[in-house]
Amino acid sequence: MSTKFSNLNMESLKAAGTDQPHAFAAISGASEPQASGLSRAVEFWRRAVYIYGTYKAAQLRSLLLLTTGRSDAEVHDSVWVPQHTWAGEEMYKLCIELRGFYLKAGQFIGSRSDFVPEQICRKLALLCDKVPPMSAEATRAALQRELGVSDLSELFEWIDLENPLGSASISQVHKARLRRFSRTELSRANASLRRQRPQEYQLAPGEGAWDVCNALGMSLRELRAINKGEAWRERGQRRRKDGIENERRIGQRNLREGEGECKRYQTRGSQTATGGPYKDYGRNG
């Protein structure tokens, strides 16, 4: 079973551990500790300007070689191929080190072979499925922070932090085995969870039932059991909707029957006016 542990608390994981001991811990938004946004922006522009400057220098070298009688193919092979290869390496390092938005931008650039040089696209395409994973210590810290525990052994029998199953721009996946908990531990955890839940929860704009379940650490069935009035209201709405639908169907059926009766009377009247059987019957009488 694949379980996404982000936004879940310790008690929810313990409850999951009774029936599903095998799991994959997926760390969403995973990233190494990063510098502030301003320092990252300064670092980006410093390196971007340097790469741009090397392109201007390569442009001057190519013009110089063309004036000496070199062909376009020779200039391309001796100047632009090495320049694009070097620039692709530098851009790849820049995206890997700064992560976040810069990593997603690198993935986009790597997919635009229609106007980006081939050497750069080939290198930046590695950002789609070959992103270097976080270190084991950074992964441990992220899991402890998201799961709300100080020691991962409280939740897992074991977890492989050294060899992630997959790593991408915003998450990475590790194989793990959940602990099995006794009924006493589960009862204590559930009781503690119920005591911590607020009596009222104010919905924010755009929030739904699943958002409430994640925030309070409960299942959708538990939420419905607590909000019985809401369940009755939904049931009443369904019944009213069904009643309206039945009335609409009955009305359509009566309308069709009435239209059929009108057509039969119109047919009988047309036969009488044109000397049909009713008029002949009058003459014979």
pLDDT of 162 higher than 80 = yes
- Return all residues near 109 (Cβ < 8 A) that are at least 6 apart: 91, 116, 120, 121, 124
Task: Give the DSSP per-residue string, 53-77.
Answer: HHHHHHHHHHHHHHHTT--HHHHII
Least reliable range by pLDDT among 6-10, 20-24, 27-31, 252-256: 6-10
Task: State pTM to two decimals.
Answer: 0.49
Q: Average pLDDT of 43-67? A: 94
pLDDT of residue 81: 94
Least reliable range by pLDDT among 81-85, 134-138, 167-171: 167-171
pLDDT of residue 251: 75
Least reliable range by pLDDT among 1-15, 32-46, 189-203: 1-15
Q: Pick the residue with more confidence: 63 or 254?
A: 63
Crossing angle for the helix pair 228-273 and 277-284, to the nearest 10 degrees: 40
pLDDT of residue 7: 38
Confidence of residue 188 (pLDDT cuts 50, 70, 90): confident
pLDDT of residue 271: 55
pLDDT of residue 11: 44
Residue 18: C-alpha distances to residues 29, 113, 145, 185 (Å):
28, 50, 23, 11
Least reliable range by pLDDT among 48-52, 79-83, 139-143: 139-143
- Would you say 13 and 181 are in contact if contact means Cβ atoms under 8 Å apart? no
- In this structure, the number of other CB atoms found within 10 A of the CB of residue 29 comes to 10
Closest CA to 214 of 205, 223, 206: 223
pLDDT of 259 higher than 60 = yes
pLDDT of residue 149: 80
